[in-house]
Amino acid sequence: MTKSNKTKPEIARRIRELPEYLFAGIDRKKAEALAKGVVLIDLSIGDPDQPTPSNIIRAMKLAVEDPANHGYPPYEGTNSFREAVATWYKTRFGIELDPVKEVLVLTGSKEGIAHIPMSFLNPGDLSLVPDPGYPVYNVGTRLAGGGSYYLPLSRENGFLPDLEKIPARAAKRAKLLFLNYPNNPTAAVAGKEFFGEAVKFAEKYRILICHDAAYSEVYYDDYLPPSFLEVEGAKEVGVEFHSLSKTFNMTGWRIGFVVGNAEAISALGKLKTNIDSGLFSAVQVAGIEALNGDRTVMEKIRAVYQERREVLVKGLKEAGLEIDPPKATFYLWIKVPSGYTSVGFVEHLLEAGGIVCTPGSGFGLAGEGYIRMALTKDKDRLNEAVARIKKIGF
């Protein structure tokens, strides 16, 4: 006899109302295709296929064996890792950071992005969220009891939000503005002029800018992404999130950090001390090696993605798809052919060609009409994906 549903605990409304995480649904569709015997080429998720560099792994091995790293780590991160972050920022961007007050270690940048709304939003407050955008901006906002005001990103505007079009009534209710350049999913980039406009907007409405810079080190040709914090006044109104995941092929290591405005860093740190016990110190030792170690490691990783970018962009254009070659990130943002929706084209590629990619509409309503592919497979698999697309047509 099964127990009545009345005896089961009721799930909180905040969880019931959460949308399914985009990639959970994609994983389910992949499993269904695999069960049918389809040989998949998975270009859906931004998970680097290359291994973590060997120097980082060696540093981790030694750190794990050191008993000094076996106890609770400092809540805010070890002094040595935060100093390494400050040194890296000075070298890479020319920005001075106080490692004690302006650097906080995260269990991956996703965790910090999800939690910062809890530090700043009261019920009824708004976050200004890019559309399309990383789903966690909205999810973190909703879990904090706030609402999302969406900023459509269009190709005509370089996939930058038009801050002047935000109604004053929405701007006055907003406490956070999420930005993300180089951008996921569109691969767009932003310059200092745009960041300067964002700083003035934030000053006017007393908004905290949360810039997600997870892809700042995945760039091509002669382009070098700037930090939002390079702009005058940025540190007074914003913070910047970073991750070692994409830069050093460390997605599973779960190490990131946030830097910038000291008051915002302190507020997020206060929240984290109440809900987690810090990041394993041995992982932070590995992070120090990543930031301070052999810089040619990053150049080699970028070179692999650049070669893959050339292969896939060329092949998709030959197949008849419309795409702008990205200056940064390892994503391609591709217009769907006439007659298809984003989901419909993704389903066609999966069912007819065994190719897994992500519908643009999964990142927001303004993502309709696009799909995203990741450069996370080797050249042979990318060439095979192109061959399949040419064969099945659209």
Residue-wise pLDDT for 363-385, tens only, equals 999 999 999 999 999 999 999 99
The DSSP call for residue 327 is S
pLDDT above 60 (res 332): yes
Neighbouring-strand partners of residue 334: 323, 371
Q: What is the mean pLDDT of residues 34-47?
A: 89
pLDDT above 90 (res 29): no
Question: In the prediction, which pLDDT does 1 show?
Answer: 46
pLDDT above 70 (res 289): yes
Residue-wise pLDDT for 224-249, tens only, equals 999 999 999 999 999 999 999 999 99
Residue-wise pLDDT for 116-135, tens only, equals 999 999 999 999 999 999 99
- Taking CA atoms, 139 is separated from 113, 146, 150, in Å, by 10, 10, 13
More confident residue, 155 or 4: 155
Neighbours of 314 (CB within 10 A): 13
Q: Is 206 within 8 Å of 235 (Cβ atoms)? A: no
What is the Cα–Cα distance from 217 to 137, expressed in whole angstroms? 21
What pTM did the predictor assign?
Answer: 0.95
Question: In the prediction, which pLDDT does 283 show?
Answer: 98
Question: In the prediction, which pLDDT does 322 show?
Answer: 96
Quickly state the pLDDT bin for 295 (edges 50, 70, 90). Answer: confident
Give the lowest-confidence range in 11-20, 304-313, 342-351.
11-20
Q: What is the mean pLDDT of residues 338-350?
A: 94
Positive or negative, the CA dihedral 111, 112, 114, 120 is positive
Question: In the prediction, which pLDDT does 174 show?
Answer: 98
- Contacts (Cβ under 8 Å, ≥6 apart) of 144: 117, 118, 120, 121
Residue-wise pLDDT for 65-85, tens only, equals 999 999 999 999 999 999 999
Question: In the prediction, which pLDDT does 51 show?
Answer: 96
Residue from 290, 139, 283, 120 nearest 210 by CA: 120
Residue from 158, 164, 231, 152 nearest 193 by CA: 231
Q: What is the mean pLDDT of residues 259-285?
A: 97
Question: In the prediction, which pLDDT does 3 show?
Answer: 55
Question: In the prediction, which pLDDT does 4 show?
Answer: 55
Positive or negative, the CA dihedral 329, 359, 164, 238 is negative
What is the Cα–Cα distance from 269 to 77, expressed in whole angstroms? 10
Amino acid at 33: A
- Contacts (Cβ under 8 Å, ≥6 apart) of 174: 125, 126, 127, 128, 149, 205, 207
In the chain, % of residues over pLDDT 70: 97
Which domains occur in the chain, in start order?
5-51+297-392 (3.90.1150.10), 54-292 (3.40.640.10)
Q: Is 209 within 8 Å of 222 (Cβ atoms)? A: no
Give SS3 for 197.
helix
- Contacts (Cβ under 8 Å, ≥6 apart) of 82: 76, 99, 100, 103, 104, 105, 257
Q: What is the mean pLDDT of residues 92-121?
A: 98
Q: What is the mean pLDDT of residues 254-275?
A: 98
What is the Cα–Cα distance from 22 to 17, expressed in whole angstroms? 15
Question: In the prediction, which pLDDT does 6 show?
Answer: 66
In the chain, % of residues over pLDDT 90: 89
